[in-house]
Structure 1
Amino acid sequence: MKIIDWYILKRFLVTFMFTLLILIPIAIAIDISEKIDNFLEHVNLSVYEIIDQYYINFTIYYTNTFMPLALFIAVILFTSKLSSNTEIIAITNAKISFTRFLYPYFIGATIVTVISLMMNHFVVPSSSKERKKFEKEYIKNKTQKNQLKFVTNFSLQLTDSTYIYIRSFNTESNSGYDFTSEVYDGLKLKSKLSADNIRYNSKDSVFTLRNWRKRQIYRDRDSIFYGSKIDTVFNFTAKDLIYQSALAQEMPSDELIKFIDISKKRGIKNLNAYLVELHKRTSLPIASYILTIIAVALSFRKKRGGTGFNLAIGVGVMFVYVFLMKIAEVLGAVAGVNSFFYVWIPNIIFGALAIYLYLNARK
């Protein structure tokens, strides 16, 4: 690397860190203003607990979320500064092409991308789990807690031949009612086990059924058994009954992939919310390269409006990108669509824009 490369890379990283250090305190201040009443409701909740259990994890999550935005703004800011100081003119006069000029930018974008990928796939999920645990305990209202607490009308395929159905299940008490398990031989029903109540014992992974009835179907006759209580084992746990997109944010990528594979085998119809979360963990960091090209192409020429004009355009472009990303996430979570394609749509659209701006800037 040449001296000019180190110079640009250093300015790149310093401005990027400076932008993050501006955005994160703003996000924390807004969040505190929204949740201060929730904190004050709990007299035993100390400031240390709020910082340690919530705001440290909050900072980790939003630092990772703001990385592409901070990168984009940082590149516009210091490239506009280079342009306004006529430093880019000197670089151009030294016969350095626009492609070569991008070299240190891509090194900086690679550093940010690698850090973001590692955080997205491994660090942020564990941090989100702690943050959401705190929110569930101290911030969420009763209605929101009950939405996470109860699972209703749930069906699950345990094996190729075994299916279960539960009318209602409480994930906190690990108990529910109207349970049914059916075993098939092809399309023919072999046995059916029903119970008025079901409870899961997490210590020994045993289910206790009360007021149970079992119908065993043979070729020429049926047998019916019943009782007040029976302990049995099934190939699932109480955690498997909770299928919500929020839970995907709490799983490291290896655990999330395993969860999706098992759920597909069990016949869960719509896992797109989980697939969107998995694909987003890669697509958003990769966007750093695309946004870097756009930012440099928009700001490397000296304009009459200067840095403020470039920054205004950049914020507008970033707003459109975030808007498209949110729409793509919602559409990608719909059953029956290709979630991978929808998650990558913003990168595809802005990638085409980046190519156009790059080719135009080379001229």
Structure 2
Amino acid sequence: MVTFLFTLLILIPIAIAIDIAEKIDNFLEHQDLGFLQIVDEYYINFIIYYANTFMPLALFIAVILFTSKLSNNTEIIAINNAKISFTRFLLPYFIGATLITLLSLAMNHFVVPSSSKIRKKFELTYIKNKRQNQQFKYVSDFSLQLTDSTYIFIRNFNTQSNAGYDFTSEVYDGLNMKSKLVADNIRYNDKDSSFLLQNWRLRRIYEDKDSIFSGNKIDTVFNFTPKDLIYKSALSQEMPSDELLKFIEISEKRGVKNLNAYLVEFHKRTSLPIASYVLTIIAVALAFRKRRGGTGVNLAIGVGMMFIYVFLLKISEVLGAVAGVNSLVYVWMPNIFFGSIALYLYLNARK
């Protein structure tokens, strides 16, 4: 555990130094931005995010360093001569991996999303350029299914001012339209969760006649908020897991076609911590034999495998976010691949 903390404390300052080098110009552009604000709103949350991300990888390197030291000191030979099985030898490693996995799961599902919300708000305010900020500000040509029979369409909506234009709401009974509400302008009131419609027209359709109503202004309620109009994968990182699951469930009922970006984020919060067990077995199996070249060879092999794991993880995230695929399978694919390697190494190490 001491080696793990030492490895983590090496990785975090490197990540901070690289990030400062990239963003120092953005910080200096804002004269009202102080050092304490940068640390409090950005780098504390930056450390929380990357410390949690690096945990399984830091554990992997720590196990290689620690086990290689045992091997170089011929302590593992003494353990083998004492007839202690390889499975029993792994037990302390798994206790440490379990502690780190539980901590990482708790942070992934509850702590990191809240921290990411503060960090991303800071980035949008002081780091992102205007074009990048616009992607969350304007929504155009958006349609949404509120219930089994109610559909809405908005030509353009500004999520910052909570106002838009060219709004349509249609209610169906099966394939037959029952009513259609059209408004030139729409504005959301956050205080009472109501919508103000301007220059509205309501048409009710009956079997033998239609009724048409119109007016300048009307207050009404719909089963959505401006936040529901923004379907961006980045927002999923800011939601605790219970809120994210509820959001996915509501979005499925509303007929949103592709939610895989959100499902990838949810599944990744569990798959990455569980990888600690897989990486621990691989690291012990690589380092428990004494090699010519010592710790350096084991560390080089371990770092190489670590980069392969991160590479596969990124590929699986991209492929898992594609519509029509099983995101759960793609997110767990790196663990399945490296799990098979871990099983092979474990069975050979037992001999």
**TM-score (norm: length of structure 2):** 0.99
How far apart are the structure 2 equivalents of 1:31 and 1:361?
41
Q: What is the correspondence of 1:244-263 to structure 2 with a 5 Å cutoff?
A: 244-263=232-251
Matching residue's letter, 2:307: F
How far apart are the structure 1 equivalents of 2:286 and 2:137?
49
2:22 to 1, 11, 34: 34
How far apart are the structure 1 equivalents of 2:249 and 2:134?
28
How far apart are the structure 2 equivalents of 1:302 and 1:328?
35
How far apart are the structure 1 equivalents of 2:246 and 2:225?
15
Gaps of 5+ in 1: 1-12
1:240 paired to 2:220: no
The equivalent residue for 1:74 is 62
Matching residue's letter, 2:330: Y
How far apart are the structure 1 equivalents of 2:282 and 2:213?
70
The equivalent residue for 2:169 is 181
Matching residue's letter, 1:222: D
TM superposition shift of 1:287: 0.4
Matching residue's letter, 2:99: I
How far apart are the structure 1 equivalents of 2:264 and 2:156?
27
TM superposition shift of 1:77: 0.7
| Equivalent position SS for 2:223 | coil
The equivalent residue for 1:3 is none
1:205 to 186, 193, 197: 193
| Equivalent position SS for 1:102 | helix
The equivalent residue for 2:335 is 347
Instruction: Provide the alpha-carbon RMSD of the alignment.
Output: 0.7
| Equivalent position SS for 1:118 | helix
1:152 to 126, 130, 140: 140
**1:177-198: CA deviation from partner (whole Å, max 9, x where unpaired):** 1111000001100000111111
1:333 paired to 2:321: yes
TM superposition shift of 1:132: 0.5
The equivalent residue for 1:104 is 92
TM superposition shift of 1:352: 0.4
Matching residue's letter, 1:263: S
Q: Percent identity?
A: 80
TM superposition shift of 1:227: 1.8
Matching residue's letter, 1:223: S
How far apart are the structure 1 equivalents of 2:306 and 2:155?
45
Matching residue's letter, 1:144: Q
The equivalent residue for 1:324 is 312
4+ residue stretches of structure 1 with deviation over 3 A?
none
The equivalent residue for 1:62 is 50
TM superposition shift of 1:141: 0.3
**TM-score (norm: length of structure 1):** 0.96
**1:67-104: CA deviation from partner (whole Å, max 9, x where unpaired):** 01100000001111111111111111111111110000
How far apart are the structure 2 equivalents of 1:349 and 1:332?
16
TM superposition shift of 1:229: 1.6
Say how many residue pairs are matched.
351
